[in-house]
Amino acid sequence: MQFLNWDGTFKFDAFTDMGTLGEPTSGTSTQVYGRASLATWGDASDSFTIFGTADADLIYLDTSNTDTPRLINVTQIFSGDGNDIVDLTTPRYQYGAVAIDGGNGDDWLLGNDGNDSISGGTGNDMIKGYGGNDRIDGGSGNDRLYGGRGNDKLSGSTGNDYLSGGLGNDTLKGGTGSDIFLFENNPVKSNVDTIMDFSVKYDSIHLEKDVFTKLGPLGRLKASAFWTGSAAHDKNDRIIYNDHTGDLYYDPDGTGSAAKKLIAKLSKHLPITEKDFFIV
């Protein structure tokens, strides 16, 4: 390992571990440029901005010699061009809220437990917010967006995107293109999402079979399992859309004794049919 002093900016080009940066002066705002893994420290008054390069970068903030959080207050990461990976999922560090910009390329951007703001930029990106109340924007391209835990805001922007809010009360906006909204968590009050712009013409809703166990076989929902109204009208109804409120429900036994469960909130008066739902 090489120990280096901070002077406000540090640049490196190694593909492997670049070493350990010496502790900066309290209150420092530091910029780091390069393409490698980074191990460093800070305190509550320091902030770090990390820039990638025009190549395929790996920005993975971790160290193997301590279980004590030593890196805090990384505030911005710009991965630049190329097909990049930014991974902040290690539990060893306290990042707080981080702004990640994937730039150009097909990127993998993985947040942390803070309230992150993650933008994929151009390219077909995969973005996961993990913990915290995150804001995720896929940008242009066909992106896969996962909110994780927390009350997240996901926007696909342009392209044919795949959006899964995860746990929490999330707000989902597909944007332009043919988008897929995935629901794969238990339909309880704390997991009800809002879809801002569902397009019957272009979009679809996917329901995880292991969670919604009474929907029938994999594939498109059967016509007999869908109903528009305030409640089920026979024993076969499983997905119920209330067009007066926009509420979308799952009912495991139709007119049976089990109560319907709210899945999501959509716009009112949509011409939704069983063709908009798929069991996956």
Model confidence pLDDT, tens digit, residues 67-91: 554 445 567 888 777 888 888 886 6
- Determine what percent of the chain is predicted with pLDDT higher than 70: 71
Closest CA to 40 of 49, 234, 97, 149: 49
Strand bridging mode 247-250 / 239-241: antiparallel
pLDDT at residue number 81:
76
pLDDT bin (cut points 50, 70, 90) of residue 279 is: very high
Residue 278 has pLDDT above 50, yes or no: yes
Lowest mean pLDDT among 28-42, 184-198, 204-218: 28-42
81-90 as b/e: b if 16+ CB within 10 A: bbbbbbbbee
% of residues, the chain, pLDDT over 90 = 61
With CA atoms as reference, report the closest residue to 266 among 128, 144, 171. 171
- The DSSP secondary-structure symbol of 12 reads -
pLDDT category of residue 214 using cuts at 50, 70 and 90: very high
**pLDDT, mean of residues 125-139:** 96
Name the nearest CA neighbour of 182 among 170, 190, 119: 170
User: Which range among 106-120, 178-192, 201-215 shows the weakest confidence by mean pLDDT?
Assistant: 106-120
pTM of the model: 0.80
pLDDT of residue 84: 83
Residue 234 has pLDDT above 60, yes or no: yes
φ, ψ at 48 (rounded to 5°): -130, 135
